[in-house]
Amino acid sequence: MSNQEKSAGLVVLVGAGPGRADLLTLAGARWLSLADVVVYDRLVNRALLGACPADTEKVDVGKAPGQAGPDQRQINELLIRHARAGRCVVRLKGGDPLVFGRGAEEAEALAEAGVAFRIVPGVTAALACACAGIPLTDRRHASGVAFVTGHQDPAKGAGTIDWEALAGIDTVVIYMGVRNLPEIVRRLIEAGRAPQSPAAIVARAGTAAQRTVTAGLAELPAAAESAGVNPPALIVVGDVVRLRDKIAWFERLPLFGRTAIVTRPRQQAGQLTHRLAELGAAVVEAPAIEILPPDDFAPVDAALGQLGEFDLVVFTSVNGVAAFASRCRRLGIDGRALAGAKVAAIGPATADALRDCFIRADIMPDTYTTEALGRAILAAGRWAGKRILLARSDIASAALREALIEGEVGVVEDVAFYRTARPERLPEEALAALAAGTVDWITFTSPSAVANFLALLPDGGGLAGVKLAAIGPVTAEALRSADLTLTVVAREHTVEGLVRAIVEASGG
């Protein structure tokens, strides 16, 4: 985005995809990272808002069917007003902006107002039928597909749908047709579609809440009602529906239908969130820890100024590596300052973070705990008279420092390169899911996350029936100390080990 565009204001109509955060396009993610204002709809995955800068203004203009909310004119005026104030406005719309999304109406209003705009296509909901094992075309079964809105009531006049033409198309996908399903089916059959035509209704396609019901066309309304299918949902009619029995894959993932809360700091949550989502889970990020700079950089800068005098630098978290690297860059220090020192990492994730900074860990324990790290360091050489730097958080346990001193290490300097804080509150999405009893798992990767999460829970907690997963024994002990029943502890104290333990406990 050029400085000229920035000063003039710009609106970007971005397709958010059908619900899964990872189906946002790269272009959409880039524009979110530049947004001053995001105006979003009801069906947009709230996790996408995490791609925005912290100070981005977020405006919810969504409304549930039958409920009050901003009308289209008011939304148009909102976009124009923010753009004229010189802001980069992202209009985040479910699916694709131009497929039953009123994106063209908004673009037209912007053009008439003389406001610059862009349009970023998105994955429209019909394409998410792939997650239900229903291809829209197939050379053996369908060479054409039609997308139709079912929002208009077919019983009220002829409307604009040519039912006779539609009945002859191989695959028909009807958006927003759940409430009018009986009448839609009647019209298709009267127009010549065979009553026994394979048909499906797919609710929340592509999300962990996906539900798919199949039946012959004539029986579909009764089947959908019996299954309690609610909007948003797609109706698919055509022989391609027969392929679902063989190629449905999403609903067979080991964590499909489960909801997991991730309590890691937002900077670290990505890997765990993505792995759980890849296995079918609906993931709610509820950071119980905020990672902040130290209140006073003087001890950090003093340690970095003497970096060449240390014999060993120890990292016990990815956050420590990030804070170390960030401050080194700020002070103009590069990897050459570590030329005379060995480096220790508590586990593979920390070692990978160091590798990204072109630093190789010399010492890493087989078991990824602070206690094991202390033993590995003492076993790696003689440290009498040597100088060791611990680059850690402000609340790091004193156990490692004490173990090294007891092992007759010369000097151990424990420096807080970053501090942790308790957020003001848990996200509303997490609290609502707990209150509704829809949460299956909560994951914890540190004792401080346990303490903060429990402190932020409202009275009653909402933990009844929820399975609790800990990344390692120290975190597990924190849960037990809070009189909570632990479901699993990862045998390998890594994100992958934690995910594996959850899958195994879920019967996967």
Amino acid 238: pLDDT:
97
Say whether both 267 and 327 belong to one domain: no
Phi/psi class of residue 212: alpha, beta or left (left: φ > 0; alpha: ψ in -120 to 50)?
beta
According to the model, what pLDDT value does residue 503 have?
97
- Domain interval for residue 84: 3-123
Place of tokens 């914890």: 444
Tell me what pLDDT residue 43 has.
87
According to the model, what pLDDT value does residue 461 have?
A: 72
pLDDT at 458: 87
- The answer to whether residues 441 and 261 touch, using CB atoms and an 8 Å cutoff, is yes
**pLDDT value at position 6?**
55
Task: Tell whether 51 and 140 lie within a shared domain.
Answer: no
Round to whole Å and give the CA distance between 97 and 121.
7
Other Cβ atoms within 10 Å of 167 Cβ, number: 18
Statement to judge: residues 15 and 35 lie in one domain: yes
Distance (Å, whole) CA 457 – CA 464: 13
Write the DSSP assignment of 192-212 as a string of letters.
T--TT-EEEEEESTTSTT-EE
Phi and psi at 163, nearest 5°, equal: -65, -35
| Residue 157, pLDDT score | 55
Measured between alpha carbons, how far is 48 from 19 in angstroms, rounded to an integer?
10
To 5 degrees, how large is the angle CA 83–CA 53–CA 322? Answer: 160
Q: Are residues 138 and 186 in the same domain?
A: yes
Query: Do 482 and 445 sit in the same domain of this protein?
Result: yes
Q: Which parts of the chain sit beneath pLDDT 50?
A: none
Tell me which residue has tokens 């709809």.
41
How many structural domains comprise the chain?
A: 4
Look at residues 123, 149, 178 and tell me which one is the last residue of a structural domain. Answer: 123
Q: What is the pLDDT of residue 34?
A: 96
**Radius of gyration (C-alpha) of the chain in whole angstroms:** 27
Nearest to 455 by CA among 422, 484, 432, 481: 422
Q: DSSP strand E in 322-410: where? A: 342-345, 387-393
Q: Are residues 430 and 358 in the same domain?
A: no
Cβ–Cβ under 8 Å, residues 369 and 473? yes
Please indicate, yes or no, whether residues 379 and 408 belong to a single structural domain of this protein. yes
pLDDT at 64: 66
Q: Return the pLDDT at 168.
A: 94
**Amino acid identity at 461:** G
CATH number, domain of 243, equals 3.30.950.10
> Structure pTM?
0.82
CA distance to 46, 408, 440, per residue, from 436 (Å): 18, 54, 11
- CA triplet 99, 102, 107: central angle to 5 degrees? 110
Of 201, 228, 252, the residue at which a domain comes to its end is 252
Q: Name the residues annotated as catalytic.
A: 41, 63
- 387, with CB counted inside 10 A (0-12, 13-18, 19+), is middle
Claim to verify: residue 110 and residue 155 sit in the same structural domain: no
Compute the C-alpha angle 413/395/302, nearest 5°: 35
Q: Are 240 and 482 in contact (CB under 8 A)?
A: no
* Rounded Cα gap, residues 37 and 11, in angstroms: 9
CB-based contact 471:262 (threshold 8 Å)? no
Asked whether residue 429 falls in the same domain as residue 280, the answer is yes
Tell me the CATH number at 274. Answer: 3.40.50.10090
Looking at the structure, do residues 151 and 219 belong to the same domain, yes or no? yes
Angle at 56 between CA 39 and CA 102, to 5 degrees: 15
Q: Which of 391, 421, 451 is the last residue of a domain?
A: 421
Count Cα neighbours of 75 within 13 Å in the Cβ-side half-sphere: 25
Record the tokens describing residue 71, joined without a space. Answer: 């009308």
CA distance 136 to 141: 9
Same domain, 168 and 241: yes
| CATH code for the domain in which residue 99 is found | 3.40.1010.10
Tokens of 215: 């039946």
Strand partners, 11: 89, 117
326 and 373 inside one domain: yes
